[in-house]
């Protein structure tokens, strides 16, 4: 069974898309991994994955509008990233304003999204699907939450973000979904050990689980979303942290599945 992991945050710009691309690529070294850009009104994954115009034949937005099927949309990125053991399969969203407006008008149905997840998972025999989302509480986010097996909540060490994250945990609880608190862009003035301690305490307070704390890294921001950072910098501290987070997530999901059975 494909496990669906949604990456979300209450506030924008916390690093969801960056973490989605890097986590998915890391997991894809040994597993078959799908990545969906569910930030339908502000997609960005296609930029990090370095797609050119001709690479995209149809989009997730087209599927949701009833104009395409998964086979038309999924792009196999495995050869591009040298993933011979696992595999990375990407579903881009449309970046055309007219498509975004059409979808905003028609709305996205839960059954259509669920059906898309299931078909993509089965067609490409995926172990995981990572879903990158739009920030805040809105229709598509609630859909992603309802359809996922786990929700990674990304927050900066910032009061606005953290209060909002507590709201998201409460919302996820109504769907009975496990949440994984991830702190990102920990400022240089805060020791990472202290951030991890705060993360663990907050996770306990929020009845969530703590996944990882990522420092604010100048080399990550200087990458300007031009590529998947861990591919270009496999030995960087950020890549090691991503690997640790991917392993914890897999372990936790495995344990959750065992408990559920
Ligand atoms: N740990 C980090 N250190 C430094 N820069 C980071 C880090 N994580 C992400 N960034 C940078 O922060 C910016 C915002 O990241 P990203 O686009 O992934 O956020 P987002 O949550 O997806 O935003 P949105 O809510 O708009 O979708 C990007 O320039 C990215 O390179
Ligand atoms: Mg984003």
The one-character DSSP state at 187 is -
- Burial class of residue 182, CB neighbours in 10 A (0-12, 13-18, 19+): buried
Q: Which residue has its alpha carbon closest to ligand 1 atom 23?
A: 13
By alpha-carbon position, which residue is closest to atom 25 of ligand 1? 12
Q: Which ligand is nearest to the CA of 237?
A: 1
Q: Nearest-CA neighbor of 5 among 41, 26, 29, 36?
A: 36
What is this structure's pTM? 0.97
User: What is the whole-number distance in angstroms between the Cα of residue 70 and the centre of ligand 2?
Assistant: 22
Domains of the chain in sequence order: 3-256 (3.40.50.300)
Average pLDDT (210-229) is: 97
Decide if pLDDT at 94 tops 50.
yes
133 lines ligand 1 (CB under 6 A): no
pLDDT at residue 125 in the model: 98
- What atom in ligand 1 is closest to the CA of residue 12? 25
Query: Quick one: which atom of ligand 1 is closest to the CA of 21?
Result: 18
Specify the DSSP element, H or E, that contains 130. Answer: strand 128-133
Is residue 42 lining ligand 1, measured as CB closer than 6 Å?
A: yes
- Pair 40, 108: CB distance under 8 Å: yes
Model confidence pLDDT, tens digit, residues 140-198:
989 999 999 999 999 999 999 999 999 999 999 999 999 999 999 999 999 999 999 99
């Amino acid at each position: 069974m494909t496990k669906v992991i949604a990456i979300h945050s209450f506030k924008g710009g916390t690093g969801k898309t960056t973490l989605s691309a890097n986590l998915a690529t890391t997991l894809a070294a040994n597993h078959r991994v799908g990545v969906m850009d569910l930030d339908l009104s502000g997609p960005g994954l296609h930029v990090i994955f370095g797609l050119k115009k001709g690479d995209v034949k149809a989009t997730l937005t087209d599927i949701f509008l009833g104009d395409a099927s998964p086979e038309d949309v999924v792009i196999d990125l495995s050869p591009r990233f040298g993933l011979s053991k696992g595999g990375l399969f990407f579903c881009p969203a449309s970046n055309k304003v007219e498509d975004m407006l059409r979808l905003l008008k028609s709305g996205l149905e839960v059954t259509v999204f669920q059906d898309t997840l299931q078909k993509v998972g089965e067609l490409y025999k995926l172990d995981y699907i990572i879903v990158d989302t739009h920030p805040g509480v809105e229709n598509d986010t609630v859909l992603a939450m309802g359809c996922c097996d786990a929700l990674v909540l990304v927050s900066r060490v910032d009061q606005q973000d953290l209060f909002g994250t507590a709201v998201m945990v409460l919302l996820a609880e109504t769907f009975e979904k496990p949440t994984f608190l991830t702190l990102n862009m920990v400022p240089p003035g805060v020791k990472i050990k202290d951030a991890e301690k705060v993360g663990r305490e907050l996770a306990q307070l929020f009845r969530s689980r703590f996944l990882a704390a990522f420092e604010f890294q100048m080399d990550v921001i200087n990458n300007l979303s031009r590529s998947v950072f861990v591919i270009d910098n496999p030995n960087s501290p950020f890549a090691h942290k991503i690997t640790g987070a991917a392993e914890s997530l897999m372990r936790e999901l495995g344990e959750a599945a065992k408990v559920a059975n």
